[in-house]
A and B are shown apart, each in its own frame.
Chain A
Amino acid sequence: MADGMDNQSIIAKMDDRSIERLICLMPANEIDIVKTPETGLLMMAVKDSFDVEFYLGEILVTEAEVRYNGKKGYSMVMGDEPERAIAAAVVDAVLGSDNKKLKMTVNRVLASCMKRVNKNEKQQGKLTARTKVSFETMRKG
């Protein structure tokens, strides 16, 4: 994790090709799918300006669970995204395992993706920053 972005946030923002590449890196024969990706609804709770909690609405999510080397991996991603859910669950399991080499590989891929995501978000942020305004109040008379 770097620049304040956790692994799930990176995976959430990876493009489809990067997700495929990430899955290909994993030892498929050592991974058991405990729960195949399934869509469901997550109710989003929020707080208003008085810290009163309420439900804003539901979000379509995909959940999956895998097992790698005895370690469970869980994932919940937004949308109907079975591949992303599997990738996220496998990453969760691998990073909780003792396989240092694979952990390093996964971290390297995530770091590289995060760099791209950060660069893109920084550019978008600058476009927004350029709309910062300072209005002047006009004098009467």
Chain B
Amino acid sequence: MKKAKSSEPLVRISKRTDISPKLSVGVRVIAIAAAFIVCALVITAITNGRAMPWDVYSQMLKGAFGTVRRVKITLRDTCALLCLGLALAPAFKMRFWNIGAEGQALIGALASTVIIKLCPGLPWWLMLLVMLVASVVAGALWGVIPAAFKATIGANETLFTLMMNYVAYQLVNVVCIFWEKQKGSSDIGVFDRGTLPKLFGVDYGISIVVILLLTAIIYVYMKYSKQGYEISVVGESENTARYIGINVKKVIIRTMMISGGLCGLAGFLLVSGTHHTLNTGIVGGNGFTAIIVAWLAHLNPIFMLLTSFFVSFLDIGTAQIATSCQLNTYASDIVVGIALFFILGCEFFINYKVVFRNSKKAKEAA
């Protein structure tokens, strides 16, 4: 019983406040390197040595950059993810947990589709313009509904935005069945209109340029605009915001309008620039992956360029490994999972330190 004198647990975790920027970058680099090493070993193990670690890396690089076309596809996927990450950043900065980017983008894609189907006679530029407006409005609406409930009756936005995904998902199903190309197939087919003009030889060229511009705009908006400042004050403390005369309700609704509207824009770009079709899979889970992209970048749009590229590279690279090693996407999902686990894990070690009972005693003794 004597030993139990100290009530301190064997291991405890405490907040770290003193980490230097250099060290925090170093920890991240180590985490990424460790992730790649472990991932390659896992692949080598499940292929019984058919693919050695260096094959894994060369295949990943080949998958993402092997040809000019592959580089373009990597950029396309990066931007698709980045756009949703950018959309989430203002909401998260405000501590509004928008888990509904998937649905907001889907509803934007749906709005574009409705315009394509209902107004076939419009000139191409006018059709694109109407699609753009419809998508942004639809996305904004999908974002504002939970925001309005949060601002007025304090409804939990995490659950609300999550549930709105499923509503959007089923609405897309309804529309696909309504305009299905073959009876009973619920396949809406590929659209022959409402397509963005080509840039750099690809129809998603404009999407890439728009999203890169958007990155700069969101950066400036969050960092230098009055509204951006209001967002961060509301995020830090609603009471402070009220005290200094910020209309919190207005900020919540306005910010979610922007967040949802940008998701709607992403939906428009997916339909007009990339897929030219509509189904429940066209956002492809990016609405959720974007949460990781945004947080890994600490909500900084410029860092998001890096994180969205990293996640897309992992996705494309592991898909290439699955093809070349005759595996399937379960294997790539495992690898992506391991890599993200390392990266998220390192954030933990940057923010906290693990303190052992003995080490503290040793310190006191010294």
A and B associate in one complex: no
Residues of chain B touching chain A, judged by Cβ–Cβ distance below 8 Å, are none
Residues of chain A touching chain B, judged by Cβ–Cβ distance below 8 Å, are none
